[in-house]
Amino acid sequence: MLQQSPFFQLYLSRLREFFRQPARIFWVYGFPTLLAVVLGYAFQSRPPALVAVDVVAGPGVDALRNAVEAHNTKAAGSTGGPAASAPIILDVRPEAEALNRLRTGKTPLVVQPGEGSNVSYRYDPTRPESAAAREAVNDLVQRAAGRSDPVATQDVLVTEPGSRYIDFLIPGLIGLNAMGGGLWGVGFFLVNLRIGKLLKCYVATPMPRRDFLGAILAARLTFLTPDLAVLLALGLFAFQMPIRGGLWLVVLIDVVGALAFAGLGLLIACRAATTETVSGLMNLIMMPMWLLSGVFFSSDRFPAAVQPLIQALPLTQLVGGLRLVILEGAGLGHEGVLRALAILAAWAVGTFWLALKWFKWT
Amino acid sequence: MTADSNGPAIRVRSLRKEYPGRDARVIAVDGIDLEIRRGECFGLLGPNGAGKTTTVEILEGLNRPTSGEVEVLGLSWDREPNAIRERIGVTLQETRFPEKETIRELLTVFRSFYRHGLSVDDAIARVSLETKADALFEHLSGGQQQRVAVAVGLIGDPEILFLDEPTTGLDPQSRRQLWDVVLDLKSRGRTVLLTTHYMDEAERLCDRVAVIDRGKIIALGSPADLIARLGGEHVIEFALADGEPVDPAAFAALDSVLAARAEADGYSLTVGEPHRALPALLDALEDLGRPLARLTTRHVSLEDVFVALTGRHLRDDQEPEADAGGRGRRRRKAGRR
């Protein structure tokens, strides 16, 4: 029965072709794991970094140094849990040298204690660490000079799983894998069949064409399972990433996303007849999404003018949807989840429709 | 079977195929009429770019004609494409089958496309690859890979098998093994349509051949017929020691010589009886005072037919491409790593 089913035979053939190539298995499963481990380690949560600033040598330096020492003693004293305020290190240098270091980005801030109670700060306000250093130094200077804060404040420190970089990264990598799988596993694969004349060889037989495409899609979804499992397991067991929403919903979003990218892959493969063409088209599609879709850093950082474009990209929606469910525990009824599913489904339907219309079999 | 079972296997009428070119339309097939009988092995012969592959692809349903009629087993590609596909087998030039599949797996996949056909083991036996049945495709030699391609064409037990340049780039031993596959098929009464630019292949395998040049059939008949049309059965080829070129017409009048041509590196005479022509030639050269540098005689081949019809050698435009194809087959493995 299955022996004589073109769909099943083509599906098996696709699985064999994939699992017998160790290099491909590495790129699909090994590489994202490696990436997650390396980036997860590099961006792991650490105690607040030291604030090191340059001070221009001059009359007010000693007063400043005393104030900093008092601050550092206090910061070191608050044991148990991460410190609320970071220790500050002063680096006294001649003015010209300090300014040169600021210009070349070696120090975030140059403090110049002036005559009397006059202090000037030189820094680039577009550098976040410069602005933070200015606040930290100014804060202790003002307190040392006797400033009293009229409002009592309390710092409640939150560093828990779910808000770290690795938690942000893993859904991004899952999305990236779905994109790579669709474009390589469907687009590049089909173009290779065309180049090798195998596509022609298939259509010269009575093979049902829907079985052929169905088998490729079924294989794609099959490869997705270990794909998703490896990254989720890595997050769960190696980094204690929480999965706050339903696992079924994670799978559903990933499947709809994978279909959208399979459709894009098919669209690329419509006419392309050389490796160069298909590689160019794949880069054209993947590069913007690598950069804009919020895989490695939040896409909110891009200007508002391009946000509608970014939100329309399938990878943005896939990664965003996955983060909502995994990290925020959103359910199917959540507006963001529904929007992600709708946009991904629209991509899937649209690309398949166009691809099947334009596909060149011979 | 159907009412058409006594008609020709393939019937083609005023077939034309044009492609849009850069300057003008390129005419690949320029009005071909053809009838291929059931059970015969028919050869389409011609240099690369003559229109052989385009013609065959139209017959295989892989390409659409610009105009003209095509009937395969009495059926039309427009009306019953799948009925035709069930009953034909196709072997393309240099198909890149999945490298990581065994022959048995590959043929099992293709077998599933047909309602009726050979068993996988039978198909493997037809191309004598029993010992390689469980070897991965990438581990086969070029000749074995080509035989797998033929087995793929045979798996549906087709009434017509199309073979597009099945032996291009193969070594002599692999070519002979493929010829045996075709001869076996002929003995089973199946129709074979083969394109080739090897004249010896056509003479060995084909009941009839059509010589195609620039999209037109310029000769049609059995290899023996076409050769007989030259009038003589032998060719004397010779070259002269250094000196002025001689007008070949000087040799045309010699005893038993039917035609004389100057070649790039000497002269070629078509002769009826070499035992009469040779002494006459030697005498004539003696009179001219020109010693021989080389002298060979051989039987007339289809190659000579082609030269007589077109004034060109098949190899003139064939060699660079055929050569590249042969190396491409071997290079391709290295290139994909």
Residue A125 and residue A234 share a domain: no
Measured distance CA(A277)–CA(A280) in Å, rounded: 5
Residue A133 zone, left/alpha/beta (φ > 0; ψ -120 to 50; rest) = alpha
Give A222 or A32, the one with higher predicted confidence. A222
Q: How far is A208 from chain B (nearest CA, A)?
A: 8
Residue A28 and residue A86 share a domain: no
pLDDT at B2: 47
pLDDT of residue A292 exceeding 80, the answer is yes
Residue A151 domain-assigned?
no
Residue A259 domain-assigned?
yes
**Which residues, at least 6 apart from B178, have a Cβ–Cβ distance to it below 8 Å?**
B143, B146, B147, B150, B166, B167, B170
Which residue of B59, B101, B112, B168 is the best one to mutate when testing the A interface, meaning the one whose CB has the most A CBs within 10 A? B112
Q: Which domains does chain B have, with CATH numbers?
A: 3-227 (3.40.50.300), 231-299 (3.30.70)
CA-nearest residue of chain B to A10? B109
Domain closes at, from A94, A116, A144: A144
pLDDT at A45: 65
Percent of chain A with pLDDT over 90: 41
Q: Each residue of A172-214: pLDDT tens digit?
A: 999 999 999 999 989 999 999 999 999 999 999 999 999 999 9
Residue A210 and residue A64 share a domain: no
Residue type, A104: T
DSSP B273-332: -HHHHHHHHHHHHHHHT--EEEEEEEE--HHHHHHHHHSS-HHHHHHHHHHHHHHHHHHH
CA-nearest residue of chain A to B64? A362
Residue B100 is nearest to which of A3, A21, A362, comparing CB atoms?
A: A21
Least confident among A166-170, A324-328, B314-318: B314-318
pLDDT at B205: 92
Angstrom CA distances, B214 to A111, A218, B52, B218, stand at: 86, 46, 9, 9
**ipTM attached to this prediction:** 0.80
Measured distance CA(A213)–CA(A235) in Å, rounded: 33
Residue A134 domain-assigned?
yes
Q: What is the CATH number of the domain that holds A128?
A: 3.40.190.10
Name the residue among A95, A96, A124 with its Cα closest to residue A109.
A124
Residue B113 is nearest to which of A192, A198, A206, comparing CB atoms?
A: A206
Residue A77 domain-assigned?
yes
Name the residue among B99, B98, B103 with its Cα closest to residue B135.
B103
Residue A220 domain-assigned?
yes
Residue A182 and residue A117 share a domain: no
Give B244 or A77, the one with higher predicted confidence. B244
Residue A152 domain-assigned?
no
Please check whether residue A111 is in contact with residue A140, taking contact to mean a CB–CB distance below 8 angstroms. no
pLDDT of residue A46 exceeding 70, the answer is no
Which residue of A201, A207, A210, A216 is the best one to mutate when testing the B interface, meaning the one whose CB has the most B CBs within 10 A? A201
pLDDT at A51: 82
pLDDT at A112: 87
CB contact under 8 A, B100 and A17: yes
pLDDT of residue A32 exceeding 90, the answer is no
Please check whether residue B58 is in contact with residue B65, taking contact to mean a CB–CB distance below 8 angstroms. yes
Residue A241 and residue A173 share a domain: yes
Which residue of B58, B109, B155 is the best one to mutate when testing the A interface, meaning the one whose CB has the most A CBs within 10 A? B109
Residue A326 domain-assigned?
yes
**Which residues, at least 6 apart from A225, have a Cβ–Cβ distance to it below 8 Å?**
none
Domain range for residue A113?
Answer: 51-144
Q: In which order are the strands placed within the sheet that holds B160-164?
A: B88-91, B160-164, B191-196, B41-45, B208-213, B216-221
The ranges of chain B with pLDDT < 70 are 1-5, 313-337
Q: How far is B174 from chain A (nearest CA, A)?
A: 22
Residue A302 and residue A194 share a domain: yes
Residue A150 domain-assigned?
no
Residue A121 and residue A201 share a domain: no
Residue A198 and residue A270 share a domain: yes
Pairing of strands B41-45, B191-196: parallel
| Mean of per-residue pLDDT scores for chain A | 87
Please check whether residue A299 is in contact with residue A316, taking contact to mean a CB–CB distance below 8 angstroms. yes
Residue A57 and residue A27 share a domain: no
- Total of domains in chain A: 2
Averaged pLDDT for residues A84-90: 77
Measured distance CA(B332)–CA(B327) in Å, rounded: 8
Residue A270 and residue A354 share a domain: yes
Q: How far from the centroid of its chain's Cα atoms is residue B330's Cα?
A: 21
Domain closes at, from A85, A117, A144: A144
pLDDT at B334: 38
Phi, psi of B336 (to 5 degrees): -95, -10
pLDDT at B313: 67
Residue A103 and residue A34 share a domain: no
Residue A16 and residue A39 share a domain: yes
CA-nearest residue of chain B to A208? B113
